[in-house]
Structure 1
Amino acid sequence: MSYQFKFPDVGEGLHEAEIVRWLVKKEDVIKADDPVVEVQTDKSVVEISSPVAGKVVSLAGEEGKVIHVGDVLITIDETGKSSKEDSPQKESKSKQEVKAIESKTMEYGIENNNKPPRRVRAAPTVRKLARQLGVNIEEVVGTGPSGRVIEEDVRNFSQTGRQAETITENHSTVSVHPSFDIHSTELIEEIPFRGLRRKISEKMVQSVYTIPHATGMGEFDVTKLVEFRNSLKPFAEKHGCKLTYLPFIIKAVTKALIENPYLNSSLDTEKEKIILKKYYNIGIATATKGGLVVPVIKNADKKSIIEIALELDQLSNKAREGKLLPKHMQGGTFTISSTGSMGGGTYATPIINYPEAAILGIYKIEDKPAVVDGEIVIRKMMGNALSFDHRIMDGLEVGLFMNSLTEILENPESLLLEVR
């Protein structure tokens, strides 16, 4: 008998996900609990396992397809079972499946809700925006790929009550979808825009559309920090620790946030309140083959520089291997984006990791002329750029934060005055 495994709610009341990679193919014989597919949710890539054993009969679709909760994900032929025994066993396995999914969602710290699936094609962030703006998403016509509702559709519907896909002018309809003048398909390469890259895109658009960004730029004189770090490297190596500049910056940022709490906040627009957070979870923007992810150092204020360095190394390895779980990327209060030694210019404008209030970009350390005690000397200079939510704070709060951070980084020995 064939068993149809339907796509479950993997958490947060999500109604859909994107198929990233099939781990099985037709005719494969699998066992119960074997992983069958990786799907991209709004949080991360989630691996889904089969609740039954048997032969794979059919798959829901190609990689990149968006599948909804309740849709048949995979059909499995449970060989060697009679129809009489199949029914009760199937019911039992169905219960096991629900328990397995509930266990999975509890692992992610997410409550499962059993809301019926909605057939509107839209990302979870778009549905959330629709709820915030009081828009019935079922009334919105999507202009995205395959008719998906995108954020622009919801915003235009909220403001005008009509769609953005067409503009009527002199009784003629003009499409606003971009067209590409391609003279020869031999001169282009098409890369599917899906998975993590598409989720990053949605997150960036949400941040830019929601938060009025303002950015200040400058440089840190990290000459003493370079010397300080070099003096501590042998000690760190004895503890199996690769000591980069980032742990020092994380610790300095944490101290500056404690002194300037508005940078460690978020805005609750529904309750009309600024939420000042008394905990310090520092996200680190990390490049992977699939795109940018942001693992989080939890409670950075309570950890030593060595402890932060060890945790950074562990999270970086997980990110490179694609093994980060949602729990590794949740709960951030402030984000640091570092280009490291690879460069990327002296300055850039980082985009805030919504719903946080600010993000610090730090760039390659370079030898530059600087004025010290009235003389021009060569110093180790690090470019920086701080983007902040101008709804929550103004230049004064940002200036005080940057003054605190500069003082700490230019006198890094002060970091050792605290045990943690």
Structure 2
Amino acid sequence: MAIPINMPKLGLSMKTGTISKWLKNEGDSIKKGELLVEIMTEKITNKVESKAEGVLLKIVASKDEIRPVGELICVIGEEGEDISGILAEAEARTSKTVAGKPSKGATKKSASTPLSDEERRKIKISPVARKLAEGNGLDYTLIAGTGPDGRITKEDVEIAITQGEGMASGMPDDRPVQQVIPYEGMRQAIGENMARSSSSNARVTLHVSVDMTGVLALRKKLNAGAKEKDKISVTAILTKAVARALELNPCLNASLTGDEIRIWQDIHIGMAVALPEGLMVPVLRNPCQKRLSEVNTEISDLAKRARKNKLDVDEMTGATFTVTNLGGYGSVDFFTPIINPPEVAILGIGRTTEKPAVVDGQVVARPLMGLSLVFDHRVVDGAPAAEWLALLIGLIEKPESMFV
């Protein structure tokens, strides 16, 4: 008996999954529990086992295709078995919604055939999508719309921007190439998310240097006599300070969803972790309710498992504010990180270097660290953002106060 295999739910918050790679081809035999497909969710690649034994009769969801949870991705059964009924039922179900994204290169009309003004006027495209396309030098007539009646949506344009559809590169194709890296998987997920963020919010960045003398002194005191594995990191202290600042002033612990600005009661900090193939942002939940040692242990554990691709979807979702740290590279003082929607702010941390500072009227050397607060001006104005940053500076420069 043929068995339909649907997009599995790999986490409580998972709504869709992307087919990253099929590990079996149509016509291959497969045993129950054998690896069948790789599915990407929130930048995590999950290797999914087969729940049935037989022959892979039909692959319904192709590579890079997005499918909602519960929707058909393949069929397993006996060789030669009739699966037309299963396919017809799945097609009827999916015809009511648009699954996946426009395929690369999907066009309405050949780029070599210019449209007349009358033809361009007949193309269905939302005003926001049109403005976004024109602002990015995109020929929207070459984009396949996924909205009602083929209407081109804002998301269609955003995807086209990241994939280069409708754009002339202006670069010759016969130049020598050192390396070709497929734009797919985690790299593509990051790119599309960042493009959506850049095109949808009104970013403002505030830069400031903060004196790390207090943090370094506190860390030295806490780590005196401690075993290496138990030593508190600077990152843990800074994360605790950020969480405390959000607790005292929650204006940035928010999200913009539709026509609602939601100020969240719980504080969950996204921690950006760099990997060779991209970036992952595991989530530290409720650090305000945990001891500094617990925060330190959890940050270390999340980072280690992120680098080994051992996090599940729930550990990658639900952040209310994100912190990204480039200080360890020793080359960056300030930068402008991109907000992770629907969050409304992100904090970038730069390197700590000895610099001249005026203390009690005297010029002395101090360990100064760069902070870059990026916020969405649609949600938060400059004054409250500056007030929050001042609060954070106070907690960092007098770190014992965050425990009071």
Deviation sequence 1:250-269 (CA, Å, 0-9, x none): 11111111221211112343
Which structure 2 segments of 5+ residues have no match?
87-92, 103-124, 131-139
8 Å CA contact 2:58–2:75 kept in 1: the answer is yes
Q: Which residue of 1 aligns with 2:239?
A: 250
Aligned length: 356
- Change in Cα spacing, 1:363 to 1:26, as seen in structure 2 (3 Å) is same
Cα deviation digits, residues 227-260 of structure 1 (max 9, x gap): 221222245537x435221111111111111221
Cα root mean square deviation, aligned:
4.0
Q: 2:30, 2:54 within 8 Å by CA — same for their partners in 1?
A: yes
Alignment gaps of 5+ in structure 1: 95-113, 124-129, 136-140, 159-163, 166-174
Secondary structure class of the residue paired with 1:243? coil
Matches within 5 A, 1:25-36: 30-36=30-36
Residue 335 of structure 2 is matched in structure 1 by 348
Compute the TM-score of the two structures, normalised by the length of structure 2: 0.75
C-alpha distance in 2, partners of 1:156/1:356? 18
1:263 equivalent in alignment to 2:252:
yes
Gap change, CA 1:362 and 1:155, over 3 Å in 2: same
Distance 1:222 1:143, change over 3 A: farther
For the structure 1 residues 199 and 148, does the alpha-carbon distance in structure 2 shift closer, same or farther, using more than 3 Å as the test?
A: farther
The CA distance in 2 between the partners of 1:395 and 1:347, in whole Å, is: 18
Q: Contact 2:214 / 2:398 at 8 angstroms: preserved in 1?
A: yes
After superposition, residues 27-106 of structure 1 pair within 5 angstroms as: 30-41=30-41, 44-54=44-54, 64-66=63-65, 68=67, 73-74=73-74, 76=76, 78=78
| Distance apart, 1:348 and its partner CA | 0.4
Matched, 1:369 2:359: no
Q: Using the TM superposition, give the Cα deviation of residue 22 of structure 1 relative to its aligned residue in structure 2, in angstroms.
A: 3.4
Change (3 A) 1:30 1:9: closer
User: 1:6 Cα shift?
Assistant: 4.4
More divergent stretch after superposition (288-297 vs 184-193): 184-193
Question: Offset of 1:334 from its aligned partner?
Answer: 0.8
* Residues 142 and 66 (structure 1), Cα distance of their counterparts in 2 relative to 1, 3 Å cut: farther
Corresponding residue for 1:378?
365
Contact 1:4–1:72 (8 Å) recurs in 2:
no
Which position in structure 1 is the counterpart of 2:135?
none
From the superposition, tell whether residues 284 and 116 of structure 1 become closer, same or farther in structure 2 (CA, over 3 Å): same
* Identity percentage of aligned residues: 30
Q: Cα distance 1:22–1:122, how it changes in 2: closer, same or farther (>3 A)?
A: closer
Contact 2:61 2:74 in 1 (8 A): no
Question: Partner residue of 2:174?
Answer: 184
| Deviation string, structure 1 residues 167-212 (Cα, Å, up to 9, x no partner) | xxxxxxxx95223423635334321111111111121122222211
- C-alpha separation between the residues in 1 aligned to 2:243 and 2:141? 43
Give the letter aligned to residue 208 of structure 2. G
SS at structure 2 position matched to 1:47 = strand
- Structure 2 counterparts to residues 377-396 of structure 1, below 5 A: 377-396=364-383
Q: 2 CA distance for matches of 1:320 and 1:253? A: 24
2:271 maps to which of 263, 284, 290: 284
Q: Which amino acid aligns with 2:187?
A: R
2:318 to 331, 344, 347: 331
1:193 equivalent to 2:180? Answer no
